[in-house]
Structures are given as structure tokens and as C-alpha cells.
Amino acid sequence: MTRDLDPAAWRERRLSFGSVAAGYAALRPDYPADAVAFLLGERPLRVLDLGAGTGLLTGVLLAAGHEVVAVDPAEGMLAELRVRHPQVVAHVGDAEAVPLPDASVDAVVAGQAAHWFAPEPAAGEMRRVLRPGGVVGLVWNTRDEQVPWVGALDAVLAAAARGHEADQQVVEDFARALDARVERFRSAVVQRVAPEQVVAGIATRSYVATMDDARRAEFLGGVREVLATHPDTRGRDLVELRYRTDAYRLVPGA
């Protein structure tokens, strides 16, 4: 679960994505195929995409030949997923109360979502729905702050983004709750986008979606200022927004 947020603020952020679902689907980065192959291997599996959102990870799972069941707490997000992937069965539900039968999937994966889960109850639900020998895959795309202009952008975002703990801590919490062995794989993804698409993508972050209109406009104005003035982005029609992709394969203990 994200830290340093009171329960009401945490819940508000967790449920904020439905209001920005279309932008999320259009502007958030996909996941690299090699990360999915690392998490699940090459054999087709029945996979629960937990916190599936608009189906960005779902699409990569389908392309790899897996059967996918999607669960997310926001109906607005799942509406976008259903448009893009009508063959996928999608349920409104939480990681702490998964609406699937016992031993019904070979793997549980979460893309950009596990920091919204309460580790102990969510891990219990993962164990319940997994078949014997099943695995858990957690994956995040993180802006690569080693790129100078991205580092400058992240400096503007840092104060508002507080309360989001690093993926490594989330993985440690789930590894402990699942008594799991952990393997890690790093990949990368690059978006080639217009500066205003960078701004619109930032607007889909929970800490921005929950701002009032005046605060949001002021905050996004600061993002535009970075893009308009940094020497690596000033005057450009397109910029390369680089992400690190960190994938963690957790094999629960018996």
C-alpha cells in the first residue's frame, strides 16, 4: 500500500483513475514483451491481471498467447479495457477480495498497481486463486530520471507525488506475505510523444487527478514550463520519454 497517506486520501487516490480512464489508456506506456516473457515463460497460461486498469498489460499478455481475466476497482477503467479487448472477461473488484474461484488461474500479474494493494489480504487472495505451482508477477514502468530533462520533470513532480513508495519495498512486502522467492528483470520502453502529451499523461497520475481544478492547472503549468525551457525539449515537436521497466517474478512458498 502507498505509505504516508491517511486512509481517506489513499482511498481517494486509489479510486481516482476512473475519472481519467481515456487519457490513461491513450497516454500511459505499454509494457515490453520481454518483461512478460520473464514473468510467465513461453507456455500459454490462464492469467489474472489484477488492477488491470484500461488493459495496457492485458494487451501484451494476449499478444503472448495467454488467456486473461481482468479485475479492477474502477468501472471506468474496465470500460476502456472492454473496448480494446472485448474477448477478456473483466470484473469490478479489489485485490483484497478477488471475485474469482479458488485455484482458477496459473498466474497473477499486476502492472503499475501493486502499490495500491494491502499486502497481507491481497497476498492471501493471490494464494487462494492460484493453482499449485502458480506465480505472481509485479511490474512497473518508471520514468528514467537519468535522462536530464526527465530528471528536471521529476523534480517538479516530487512533492506532489509523495506517498508512492518505491516498487522494491512493495515487492519485499509481498515476498514476505507470500513467503516467496523473488527474481528480477529490467527492460525499458520509450514513448515518442508531443510535449503536450507529456503534460496530459502526467494529468492521469492519481495525485493530479485528485487536485482541485485551480491547483491542477497551476501544477500542470509547471510541467509545461519545464518542457518549454529545458534545452533538451525546448521547441521540439516530439520528445523521447524513456522509462525503466522493472519486473519481479514471485514464486510463493508451499
Could you tell me if residue 181 is inside a domain?
Answer: yes
> Quick one: pLDDT at residue 242?
95
Dihedral sign of CA atoms 226, 231, 232, 237 in order: positive
pTM for the whole structure: 0.88
Count of beta carbons in the 10 Å neighbourhood of residue 138: 27
Which tens digit of pLDDT belongs to each residue from 96-121?
999 999 999 999 999 999 999 999 99
Alpha carbon distance 247, 237 (integer Å): 32
| Grid cell for residue 254 | 508451499
Could you tell me if residue 110 is inside a domain?
Answer: yes
Could you tell me if residue 143 is inside a domain?
Answer: yes
Tell me how many domains the chain contains: 1
Could you tell me if residue 113 is inside a domain?
Answer: yes
Task: Give the CATH number of the domain where residue 231 resides.
Answer: 3.40.50.150
> Quick one: pLDDT at residue 27?
77
Could you tell me if residue 2 is inside a domain?
Answer: no
Could you tell me if residue 58 is inside a domain?
Answer: yes
Domain housing 214: 7-252
**Strands, E assignment, the chain:** 46-50, 67-72, 89-92, 105-111, 130-143, 180-193, 239-252
Are the C-beta atoms of residues 173 and 163 closer than 8 Å to each other? no
DSSP-derived secondary structure for 128-181: HHEEEEEEEEEEEEEE-TTSHHHHHHHHHHHHHHTT---HHHHHHHHHHHHTEE
> Quick one: pLDDT at residue 163?
46
What number of residues does the chain have?
A: 254
| pLDDT tens sequence for the chain (254 residues) | 445 555 655 565 555 555 566 777 777 899 999 999 999 999 999 999 999 999 999 999 999 999 999 999 999 999 999 999 999 999 999 999 999 999 999 999 999 999 999 999 999 999 999 999 999 999 999 999 999 999 999 998 887 765 444 588 999 999 999 999 999 999 999 999 999 999 999 998 878 888 889 999 999 999 999 999 999 999 999 999 999 999 999 999 87
Could you tell me if residue 1 is inside a domain?
Answer: no
Could you tell me if residue 164 is inside a domain?
Answer: yes
